[in-house]
Structure 1
Amino acid sequence: MLDKVKSETRIEEITKQFNSVRKLTERLCQELEIEDYNLQAMAETSPIKWHLAHTSWFFETFILKCFEPDFVPYHPEFEYLFNSYYNSVGEQFLRPNRHLLSRPTVTEVFKYRENVTNRMMALLESKASGRLLEMLPLVVLGVHHEQQHQELLLTDLKYNFYQNPLLPSYSHKHVQNKSSHSKVVAHKWLEYQPELCVIGKKLGDGVKDEFCFDNESPQHQHYLQGFAVSNRLVTNAEYLEFIEQGGYEQAELWLSDGWAVKCQEKWNAPLYWFKRDGAWHYYTLHGPQPLALNEPVTHVSYYEADAFATWKGARLPTEQEWERVASSQSLKGPFLQSGNLNPSAQTQSSDEVMQLYGQVWQWTSSSYSPYPGYQPLAGDVGEYNGKFMANQYVLRGGSCVSSQEHIRASYRNFFYPDARWQFSGIRLAKDL
Structure 2
Amino acid sequence: MILFFPRIVKKSSTKDGLVTSTIEHVLQSLREQRDSNKTDFNSEKYLIDGNFNSELICEHYQHIRQQTLSLCNDLEIEDFELQADDFVSPTKWHLAHTSWFFETFVLKNTSDYQVFHPQFEYLFNSYYNAIGKQYPRSKRGLMSRPTVQEIKSYRQYVDQKLLALINKKNGLSKKQIDLIILGLNHEQQHQELMLTDLKYNLSFNPLYPIYTKAKFPKGQAPESEKSDSVMPLAFIEFGGGIYNFGKKGDGFSFDNETPRHQALINDFRLANRLVTNAEFCQFIDAGGYQDPQFWLADGWSWVQENNVTMPLYWHLESEGIGNKDQKQSQRYEFRLTGYGQLHPQQPVTHVSFYEADAYARWAGKRLPSEYEWEVASKKRNIDGTFVESQSFHPLMVSSSKEDYPDDGMKQLFGDCWQWTQSSYAPYPGFKAPEGVVGEYNGKFMCNQMVLRGGSCATPRSHLRTTYRNFFYPQDRWQFTGIRLAEDVK
Which runs of 5 or more residues in structure 2 are unaligned? 10-46, 222-226, 320-328
1:64-109: CA deviation from partner (whole Å, max 9, x where unpaired): 0113x31111100000000000000000000000001111011100
**Residues of 2 paired with 1:64 and 1:7: CA distance?**
25
Instruction: Map residues 2-401 of structure 1 onto 2, 5 A cutoff.
Output: 5-8=48-51, 10-67=53-110, 69-126=111-168, 129-175=170-216, 177-180=218-221, 181-202=227-248, 204=249, 209-276=250-317, 277=319, 278-347=329-398, 348-349=400-401, 350=404, 351-401=407-457
Aligned AA for 2:206?
P
**Residues of 2 paired with 1:101 and 1:357: CA distance?**
37
**Residues of 2 paired with 1:303 and 1:265: CA distance?**
13
Aligned AA for 2:81?
N
**Residues of 2 paired with 1:413 and 1:248: CA distance?**
26
Equivalent position of 2:480 in the other structure: 424
Deviation at 1:7, TM superposition (A): 4.7
Aligned AA for 2:177?
L
Report if the CA contact (8 A) 1:233-1:428 is conserved: yes
1:28-61: CA deviation from partner (whole Å, max 9, x where unpaired): 1111111111100011100000000000000000
Report if the CA contact (8 A) 2:54-2:171 is conserved: no
Deviation at 1:131, TM superposition (A): 4.1
Deviation at 1:378, TM superposition (A): 2.0
Aligned AA for 1:94?
P
Mean Cα deviation higher: 372-381 or 252-261: 372-381
Equivalent position of 2:325 in the other structure: none
**Residues of 2 paired with 1:361 and 1:7: CA distance?**
38
Deviation at 1:340, TM superposition (A): 1.1
Deviation at 1:174, TM superposition (A): 3.5
Aligned AA for 1:117?
D
Aligned AA for 1:64?
L
Which runs of 5 or more residues in structure 1 are unaligned? none
Mean Cα deviation higher: 299-308 or 188-197: 188-197
Distance 1:337 1:7, change over 3 A: farther
1:37 aligns to what SS in structure 2? helix
Distance 1:177 1:265, change over 3 A: farther
**Residues of 2 paired with 1:417 and 1:6: CA distance?**
48
Report if the CA contact (8 A) 2:368-2:420 is conserved: yes
**Residues of 2 paired with 1:29 and 1:84: CA distance?**
21
1:203-245: CA deviation from partner (whole Å, max 9, x where unpaired): x5xxxx4000000000001111111000110000000000000
Report if the CA contact (8 A) 2:52-2:171 is conserved: no
Root-mean-square deviation (CA, aligned residues, Å) is 1.4
Equivalent position of 2:460 in the other structure: 404
Report if the CA contact (8 A) 1:258-1:303 is conserved: yes
Deviation at 1:9, TM superposition (A): 6.4
**Residues of 2 paired with 1:9 and 1:336: CA distance?**
31
Distance 1:190 1:258, change over 3 A: same
Report if the CA contact (8 A) 2:367-2:485 is conserved: yes
Deviation at 1:194, TM superposition (A): 1.5
1:8-27: CA deviation from partner (whole Å, max 9, x where unpaired): 56543322111111001111
1:394 aligns to what SS in structure 2? strand
TM-score normalised to the size of structure 2? 0.85
Deviation at 1:132, TM superposition (A): 2.4
1:110 aligns to what SS in structure 2? helix
Deviation at 1:130, TM superposition (A): 4.8
2:346 aligns to what SS in structure 1? coil
Deviation at 1:334, TM superposition (A): 1.4
Aligned AA for 2:356?
A
Aligned AA for 2:68?
T
Deviation at 1:5, TM superposition (A): 2.7
2:256 aligns to what SS in structure 1? helix
**Residues of 2 paired with 1:130 and 1:170: CA distance?**
41
Mean Cα deviation higher: 275-284 or 16-25: 275-284
Report if the CA contact (8 A) 1:174-1:286 is conserved: no
Aligned AA for 1:291?
L
**Residues of 2 paired with 1:357 and 1:150: CA distance?**
17
**Residues of 2 paired with 1:352 and 1:132: CA distance?**
46
**Residues of 1 paired with 2:298 and 2:162: CA distance?**
46
Greater Rg, structure 1 or structure 2?
2
**Residues of 1 paired with 2:422 and 2:124: CA distance?**
32
Mean Cα deviation higher: 295-304 or 270-279: 270-279
Mean Cα deviation higher: 398-407 or 5-14: 5-14
**Residues of 1 paired with 2:450 and 2:239: CA distance?**
23
Deviation at 1:177, TM superposition (A): 4.2
